[in-house]
Copies of this chain bind each other. A is one copy, B any other.
Amino acid sequence: MRTTPDATEKQYNGLTVLTRGLPAEAYFDTGRHQLELQRIWYRHWIYVGRSSEVPLPRAYRTFELGDQRLMLVRDEHGVLQGFHNTCRHRGAALCPENSGVLRTGAIVCPYHAWTYSLQGDLLRTSSKRHAEGFEVADYPLYRVPVHEWRGFVFVTLSEHPPPFAPSFDPLPQCFDAWPLEELTTGHVLDKVIQCNWKIFWENYNECLHCPAVHPKLSQLVPIYGRGIMDERDDPNWAHHAADPHPKFKGGLRTDASTWSLDGQVTGVPFPLSEKVRKEGALYMTALPSVFIVGHVDYVRVVRLRPLGPERTELKVEYLFSRETLAHPRFDMRNIIEFTDLVMTEDAEVCELNQRGLKAVPHVGGVVMPEEYLIRQFHEWIAAELERV
């Protein structure tokens, strides 16, 4: 689930007219999945991982998306370059390993030693003479745009990538208060979920499931226990407009200071505004691959990758400051056992959702009033699929 942006007009958020979901086949049909790969996953900025995984010149890593295999390498100027992991000669993969450091200052194909600069230009082949019509300049690596932002690496398979910052909702500035580039990965949760990737995002976009699925989280964030994420998700919100209780206003319960087992911070909190500290979590989303949650004393990065129409990889990275990691009282379990539990609860219920979709009479589902962000997600999907 996510928090909604601040409202300017004060009115009820919910859907007021009967709203249908996507057709059931959208969640398991193979042709539909291919289309979504091409029109959505191969066009947007996709989160790969942290810059610290390829820290120095010559460091490289690979990345797979659908059936596309990419390599990222940091060049001699410190710029991260991206390429299809494919030699221009006979198409061999250039990187046999998932990550490492190039032995020389060039990319050398392990098959026939075609040699490319770290910017992807073909420097030389292994042939003694070239045929008429063969020009070295015609065979650079297939390049893919890469963007680093505050320690996060993104790629896109699009030749005309969308502008980077507007890919985020809200815009990246909302994370100014967190020292993102200086954080260290302290824990990773890796999971394969037996569901379509859109099932995961639907789950993310509503809290109607929180009372049944997340009992502990619903205690920590009392408004979730009411099945909503925002004051005005309740049609009767005006009745409680004057009540400051987090049950109505959202945010952490009053005696808690972060998302953790006991609700308490054990490390060093970031220098956040009181408003953010009360809310306890700031969500920023870059569809279709990632959301980043700024917590009071850590940052959680959730990466999604489609492995098939009914299989999705989930990777959760937990980022901490050096001060927190060095703090004598810091107990990481207090954080990760809580949030891993929430993520695991979501993963299980996503699998349950997937399992019921193939019933012959089930044409599709219903989007309920509190699920207005799912409606927005479905509209986004429809618009993306229409762009040729």
Contact segment of A10-18, A50-58, A174-182, A266-274:
A10-18
* Chain A 342-374 interface residues, beta-carbon cutoff 8 Å to B: 349, 352-353, 355-362, 364-370
A111 / chain B contacts, CB cutoff of 8 Å = 209, 212-213, 349, 352-353
**Chain B residues with CB below 8 A from A94, complex form:** 356
Pair A16/B360 contact, Cβ less than 8 Å: no
The one of B86, B357, B366 in contact with A134, judged by C-beta atoms closer than 8 angstroms, is B366
Which residues between 200 and 239 of chain A lie within 8 Å of chain B, taking CB atoms? 202, 208-209, 211-213, 227-228, 234-236
Q: Is A163 an interface residue (CB 8 A)?
A: no
CB < 8 Å neighbour of A357 from B86, B126, B157, B208: B86
A370 CB contact (under 8 Å) in B18, B90, B128: B128
Q: Is the CB of A68 within 8 A of B369?
A: no
Q: How many copies does the complex hold?
A: 3
A376 within 8 A of B: no
Cross-chain contact A112 with B42 (CB below 8 angstroms)? no
B18, A133: Cβ atoms under 8 Å? yes
Interfacial chain B residues near A213, Cβ < 8 Å? 110-111
Say yes or no for A88: interface residue by CB 8 A criterion: yes
- Contact pattern, A 101-131, Cβ under 8 Å of B = 1, otherwise 0: 0000000001111000000000001111111
Separation of A355 and B366 alpha carbons in the complex (Å): 42
- Asked whether any CB of chain B lies closer than 8 Å to the CB of A24, the reply is yes
Contact A362:B92 (CB < 8 A) given known A129-B14, A132-B17, A209-B112 = no
A131 and B16 contact, Cβ closer than 8 Å, known pairs A89-B366, A91-B356:
yes
- Interface SS of chain A: loop
Tell me which residues across on chain B come within 8 A of A88, comparing CB atoms: 365-366
The answer to the question of A149 belonging to the interface, with a C-beta cut-off of 8 Å to chain B, is no
Tell me the minimal C-beta distance from A139 to chain B in angstroms. 7
Closest 7 CB pairs of A and B: A18-B133, A84-B359, A86-B356, A93-B356, A93-B355, A90-B365, A86-B359
What are 12 A-B contacts with C-beta separation under 8 Å?
A: A24-B91, A68-B359, A85-B359, A86-B359, A87-B356, A90-B353, A91-B364, A93-B355, A110-B212, A111-B213, A112-B227, A127-B369
Given contacts A84-B359, A126-B212, A127-B370, 11 further A-B pairs with CB under 8 A are A16-B132, A18-B134, A21-B90, A21-B91, A24-B91, A86-B357, A91-B357, A92-B352, A110-B212, A128-B228, A134-B366
